[in-house]
Amino acid sequence: MSPRKIEPNLMDRVVSYVDPVRGARRMRARVAMALVGGYLGAKRDRRATKEWRVTQNSADADLLPDLPMLRERSRDLVRNSPIATGAVGTVLMNVVGTGLNLVPRPDGEVLGMTERKPTLGSPWSSVNFACGRKRSNAT
């Protein structure tokens, strides 16, 4: 990568004329900021990005045709590369549980429910028996 040319602005030239030591410090700071703060990802004149061609496809369109090969290579990396093994281990250690599970707990008082079981003659008993028949016939 070719070094960027940093040009002194008017203020830099004035400071360098009045105090050359401070002027040199300003230019050193400008060079340091240029090295740290440069955004080069979209530049096309750099050797690293000159031949970088991209598509505007979705992630699925780009990855699904090559998914079997990507999986094989990922497994091989995890087996043979300590960095990949550590990355997978870090992800596994930082995942919390298996996710959220729904556990229904209806409020019986609000719904007007009681603890008694339905008797054979109650309207709920026929619904329960009908549901059981439908399930047993489905299998």
pLDDT digits (tens, 9 = 90+) for 59-102: 999 999 999 999 999 999 999 999 999 999 999 888 877 777 78
What is the rounded distance in angstroms from the CA atom of residue 26 to the CA atom of residue 20?
10
Core vs surface per residue 25-57: b (16+ CB within 10 A) or e: ebbeeeeeeeeeeeeeeeeeeeeeeeeeeeeee
At position 17, the amino acid (one-letter code) is Y
Could you report the per-residue pLDDT of 42-62, keeping only the tens digit for each? 777 778 788 888 888 999 999
Could you report the per-residue pLDDT of 95-122, keeping only the tens digit for each? 877 777 788 888 878 887 777 665 665 6
**pTM here?**
0.36
